[in-house]
A and B are shown apart, each in its own frame.
Chain A
Amino acid sequence: MESAVTAATLALTAVGLSLVFGVMRVVNVAHGEFFMLGAVSAWFITTWVGGPAWASFLVALAVAPLFVAALAALADRIVLKRLDYEPEATIVATIGLMYIFQQAALSFYGPQAMPVEPPFNFRIQLPWFGYSAYKLSVILFATLVLIGVWLFLTRTKAGLVMRATQVDRETAQAFGIDVDRVYAGVFALGAGLAAIAAVLIVPIQQAHYLMGHDPLLLAFITVIVGGLGSLRGTIIAAVFIGLSDGLIAFFWSPTLAKILATLLVAMVLVFRPQGLFGAKQA
Chain B
Amino acid sequence: MRIWTLHLFTLAVLAVLLATLPPYHATNLARILVLAVFAIGYNLAFGYTGLLSLGHALFFAAGVYGAALPITYLGLPQLPALVAGLLAGGLVAGVTGLLALRTAGVSFMIVTLMFAQAGYLTLLYFGPVTGGDEGLVLPDAAALLPGLSADVARATIAYALFSAALLSSLALVQSRLGRTLVAIRENEDRSRMLGYNTFAVKLTALVLSGLFSGAAGAAYALLFGYAGASFATIQYSILPMLWVLMGGAGTVLGPLVGTAAMFYLVDIAGSYTTATLLFVGVALVLLILFAPKGILGTIRERWLTWLP
A interface list, Cβ under 8 A from B: 25, 27, 79, 82-83, 87-89, 91-93, 95-100, 102-104, 106-107, 217, 220, 224, 253, 255-256, 258-259, 262-263, 265-267, 269-271, 273
Q: Which of A83, A96, A262 lies in contact with B284, CB distance below 8 A? A: A96
Across the interface, do B103 and A273 meet the contact criterion of CB distance under 8 Å? yes
In the bound complex, residues from chain A placing their C-beta under 8 Å from that of B125 are: 253, 255-256, 259
Q: Which of B99, B111, B282, B289 lies in contact with A100, CB distance below 8 A? A: B282
In the bound complex, residues from chain B placing their C-beta under 8 Å from that of A224 are: 110
In the bound complex, residues from chain B placing their C-beta under 8 Å from that of A25 are: 106
In the bound complex, residues from chain B placing their C-beta under 8 Å from that of A263 are: 114-115, 118
The dominant DSSP class at the A interface is: helix
In the bound complex, residues from chain B placing their C-beta under 8 Å from that of A217 are: 117
Interface residues on B, range: 35 or more
Across the interface, do B281 and A100 meet the contact criterion of CB distance under 8 Å? yes
Looking at the assembled complex, report how far the CB atom of B221 sits from the nearest CB atom of chain A, in whole angstroms: 23
Q: Which of A88, A91, A96 lies in contact with B283, CB distance below 8 A? A: A96
Looking at the assembled complex, report how far the CB atom of B132 sits from the nearest CB atom of chain A, in whole angstroms: 10
Pick the most buried of A91, A224, A266, A273: most chain B CB atoms within 10 A of its CB: A266
Looking at the assembled complex, report how far the CB atom of A108 sits from the nearest CB atom of chain B, in whole angstroms: 11
In the bound complex, residues from chain B placing their C-beta under 8 Å from that of A106 are: 275
Across the interface, do B275 and A95 meet the contact criterion of CB distance under 8 Å? no
Across the interface, do A273 and B107 meet the contact criterion of CB distance under 8 Å? yes
In the bound complex, residues from chain B placing their C-beta under 8 Å from that of A262 are: 114-115, 117-118, 121
Pull 7 A–B residue pairs with CB atoms less than 8 Å apart, ordered by A. A92-B241, A100-B282, A256-B125, A259-B118, A263-B114, A269-B114, A270-B102
Across the interface, do B281 and A99 meet the contact criterion of CB distance under 8 Å? yes
In the bound complex, residues from chain B placing their C-beta under 8 Å from that of A258 are: 121
The distance in angstroms between the C-alpha atoms of A96 and B117, with both chains bound, is 19
Across the interface, do A88 and B109 meet the contact criterion of CB distance under 8 Å? yes
Mask of B83-112 contacts with A, CB within 8 angstroms, 1/0 = 000000000000000011011011101110
In the bound complex, residues from chain A placing their C-beta under 8 Å from that of B124 are: 255
Across the interface, do B289 and A93 meet the contact criterion of CB distance under 8 Å? yes
In the bound complex, residues from chain A placing their C-beta under 8 Å from that of B107 are: 269, 273
Across the interface, do B117 and A92 meet the contact criterion of CB distance under 8 Å? no
Across the interface, do B285 and A97 meet the contact criterion of CB distance under 8 Å? yes
In the bound complex, residues from chain A placing their C-beta under 8 Å from that of B281 are: 95-100, 102-103
Whether B280 is near chain A, meaning CB under 8 Å from some CB there, is yes
Looking at the assembled complex, report how far the CB atom of A91 sits from the nearest CB atom of chain B, in whole angstroms: 6
In the bound complex, residues from chain A placing their C-beta under 8 Å from that of B109 are: 27, 88, 91
Q: Which of A88, A98, A103, A270 lies in contact with B52, CB distance below 8 A? A: A88
Rank and list the top 9 A-B pairs by shortest CB-CB distance, nearest first. A99-B281, A96-B284, A96-B285, A100-B281, A103-B278, A266-B114, A262-B118, A96-B281, A262-B114
Across the interface, do B118 and A266 meet the contact criterion of CB distance under 8 Å? yes
**What residue of chain A has the Cβ atom nearest to residue B282's Cβ?**
A100
Whether B174 is near chain A, meaning CB under 8 Å from some CB there, is no
Whether B288 is near chain A, meaning CB under 8 Å from some CB there, is yes
The distance in angstroms between the C-alpha atoms of A174 and B52, with both chains bound, is 33
Whether B277 is near chain A, meaning CB under 8 Å from some CB there, is yes
Looking at the assembled complex, report how far the CB atom of B288 sits from the nearest CB atom of chain A, in whole angstroms: 5
